[in-house]
């Protein structure tokens, strides 16, 4: 991808995770430097654990970095994140294929 090409998203959550990280930087919740360091660390941890270096898991790293910063900055607790993930899993399970996932 060149600088002029837009990011490619396979799933809506990927765009949402990246947009949330950008919104939190813009809101001053963490700095661009903190975001870059967190994302770099998430990628490095994944590669050390055997993750392929082919770009297919990039947005997983975005999500992991975002969650890590949210916890470090006390924007949410581990329990709150776990509850939200479970709510998404449940909502996804009850959503018909092709329809947008809606949380209650």
Q: Are 41 and 64 in contact (CB under 8 A)?
A: no
Show Cβ contacts of residue 72 under 8 Å, excluding neighbours closer than 6 positions: 38
Query: What does the pLDDT profile of the chain (104 residues) look like in tens digits?
Result: 455 666 689 988 899 999 999 999 999 999 999 999 999 999 999 999 999 888 889 999 999 999 999 999 999 999 999 999 999 899 989 999 888 888 87
* Interatomic CA distance for residues 13 and 72, integer angstroms: 22
DSSP annotation of 99: S
* Interatomic CA distance for residues 92 and 52, integer angstroms: 27
Look up the pTM and report it. Answer: 0.81
């Amino acid at each position: 991808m060149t600088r002029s090409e837009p990011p490619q998203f396979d799933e809506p959550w990927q765009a949402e995770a990246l947009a949330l990280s950008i919104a939190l930087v813009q809101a001053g919740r963490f700095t661009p430097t903190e975001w870059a360091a967190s994302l770099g660390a998430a990628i490095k941890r994944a590669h050390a654990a055997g993750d392929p270096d082919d770009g297919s898991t990039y947005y997983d790293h975005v999500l992991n970095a975002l969650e890590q910063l949210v916890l470090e900055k006390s924007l949410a607790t581990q329990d709150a994140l776990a509850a939200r993930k479970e709510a998404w899993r449940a909502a996804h399970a009850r959503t018909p294929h092709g329809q947008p996932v809606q949380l209650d």
